Structure formats: structure tokens, C-alpha cells
Structure 1
């Protein structure tokens, strides 16, 4: 553990889908709502909501709501190249998504960095987000490759105090 850093983590997964399709599922409200969120809004710098199939752009803000979770997350899209790279603020840190096609599959690399290193952030962001992103990347793979969602989408679980025990909420 001498090399342990609490300020960044990386998760990688190969997905059998073209990078453009994967990017669309991250950068559009409609795409995010198929595999990840109950509600997603991207808003441009003039405070106009982007169309549901329009790519988020650098400088946009977002508002995300998950299934079975009352609180939302808001942040800023910092970088968006429209093809293979997306970066946004998230949970007091920064997240980058990079897509690289090779031999018919796409390597998705998610990096969360600039994580504060206080004890609360180590638990909630480094551990909590690291675990969460692992699940959500697997969910994206299951959805794009097999049209299967691994998470629970019915609202009957909202408000449970033991949510952190579940692997699919």
C-alpha cells in the first residue's frame, strides 16, 4: 500500500460496440437514460436544455437523477470532443471517459481524479464512486452487448437506508 493514492482511480472495460455508439450513450440525455439514469438534462451556457439526442458540449451543465435515489448530481462538462473523450465534474472531483477502438472492440477507460484526500472523500468518493463506476461500466457493457440492464429501475426501493448493501440500485 506504499504506492496507494487516494486522489485518483481508473476503471477499464472492453465493450463490443463502436466508440461512436458508446460516446452517444454518455453524451446525450436519451443515451444516459437507457443504461444509467432515470433523468438526465444537459444545458448549454445560455441555459437552454439540449435536445435529448444532442451531444453535450464543453461548458454545458448537467443534472442527473438515478433510479431509486432521491438526490441528484449536478456538474459541468469540461471537455467533449464529440467522438472519444468526455470530461466532467462529479462528486467533488473530475471524471474523464476515453474510448479507444482496437480489433473490433472499444476500450472504455474511466478515470476519476482530483479526489480530495480527507477521510470522508476516501470513503465516499474513492471507495464509493470506484465501486459504483465498476458496476455502471458493467451495466453499460451488458446493455450494449446483450440488451440487458443489471440495475433495479422500479421506484419501490427509493429511500432505503441500507442502499449501500445493494449491488444493483
Structure 2
């Protein structure tokens, strides 16, 4: 077993779906907004905005916006093979997603790595993102296997100071 550290973490989940559908969920604007984000914009390296159904590509930049959070995350697509893996810059670190077929389900593996290890990053990135990705992967499973979303879109949580740390379905 690998030793746990503050500079990376891995989250895994089996989802009964196809690799193609899961890649669409991660690798297109339409897909990632279906279960995860309020909005996403992907821009190609030559400055053209990608079509919502078009796969992201290495060199693209992105802007993500969530429900119940006024901030946005901007980053770069570092790798995207069009089928079963991608990597992005995210929150002063990197996030890689790989998809692997296993009998009747796909193993989704998310690794956030190269996380700074100062105290603020340990709390906000390692702890915050680790908790966040745990929920969002469960949300993706609920969406694809049962057609439901678990994230909060009805109640506005933005004015609750610690909502991002206290609400499990942020």
C-alpha cells in the first residue's frame, strides 16, 4: 500500500456505464455540465470556443463555474486522448481521470497531484478537494446509473460562510 501524503490523493468508483459515455461526461462542455458544473467554457489553443459536444484537447483552456459558488476555476487541459484519459491543471495542482472497463462497469480513477503542502493548501486543496471529489464521483454514479442528481441547486448556499465545508452536496 502506498503511503498517504498531502501532495496527492486518489479517488475511485465503479460506474455501470460505457467508457464512451463517461468520457463524454468528463471531456465535453455538455457532458461536464450535465452532472457537475453550472457552466463550462473550453477554448482551443488558437482561441476558438469549443462546441458543447466537442471533445476537449490538450492545450485547451477552460473556465468552470459551479452551482452555489460565485468563484470560477480557470486552467488548462494538459492531456486528453479522446477515449479514456485526461489531465487538467486545477487549483494549483493537477487532476487526472482514467477510465478502465471492468466486466459490467467502468472503473473511474481520479488523482489530484502536485498539491502544494503549505497549511492553507492542505486544508483547501487536499482536504477540500478530496471531500469534494468524493461527492462529485458519487453524483456522477447517481446520474448515470439512476438518472438523478444529488447536488444542491434549489437552495442558495452562497451566503452561508462555511457552506463549502459543511454541506455534503455543495
* Partner of residue 34, structure 2: 34
> How far apart are 1:104 and its partner, in Å?
1.6
**Structure 1 length as normaliser, TM-score?**
0.96
Q: CA deviation at 1:160?
A: 2.3
- 1:12 paired with 2:12, answer yes
What's the C-alpha RMSD, in Å, of the aligned pairs? 1.0
Counterparts in 2 of 1:24-63, with a 5 A limit?
24-63=24-63
**SS in structure 1 of the partner of residue 135 of structure 2:** helix
Distance 1:75 1:81 in 2: 18
Measured after TM superposition, the shift of residue 155 of structure 1 is: 6.2
In structure 1, distance between residues paired with 2:73 and 2:103: 36
Question: Any conservation in 2 of the 1:40–1:64 contact (CA below 8 Å)?
Answer: yes
Aligned equivalent of 2:166? 165
4+ runs deviating over 4 angstroms: none
* Alignment-derived partner of residue 78 in structure 2: 78
CA distance in 1, matches of 2:125, 2:114: 10
Cα deviation, residue 102, structure 1: 1.3
Q: CA offsets, 1:69-112, max 9 Å, x none?
A: 00000100000000000100010000000000010210000000
Alignment length (residue pairs): 167
Task: List alignment gaps of at least 5 residues for structure 1.
Answer: none
Q: Displacement of 1:141 after TM fit? A: 0.3
Per the normalisation by structure 2, the TM-score is 0.95
